[in-house]
Amino acid sequence: MLEAAIDELPENFPLVFLLRAVEEMGVAETAEALEVPEETVKTRLHCARALLRRSLDHHTQAATPTVFSFHLSRCDRVVSAVLARIATKL
């Protein structure tokens, strides 16, 4: 999901994010590699992180209702296991 979100970033943002966050390059080193001012690196990284947060939040909110879905059959199985465990403690 993160890789897909990085791929969706606007031009210039993915490279700055990858160099800074993944490759752990410093601001000056990234600026030199991209031939841009250090302030540009900082701004692009800030924007990239904000866009990634929004994208990942959107995707996780959509998927959340299906995570660990608790269907009736699973509920019966869990309740039976808990009651059996309680019975052994008594």
> How many angstroms separate the CA atoms of 31 and 41, rounded?
6
- Indicate if the pLDDT at residue 8 is higher than 90: yes
The residue with tokens 């929004």 is 54
The pLDDT confidence band at residue 72, using thresholds 50, 70 and 90, is low
Distances (CA, A) of 53 to 13, 23, 60, 90: 14, 19, 10, 49
The mean predicted confidence, pLDDT, of the chain is: 89
Mapped onto helix, strand or coil, the DSSP state of residue 35 is coil
What's the predicted TM-score (pTM) here? 0.67
pLDDT tens profile 35-51: 999 999 999 999 999 99
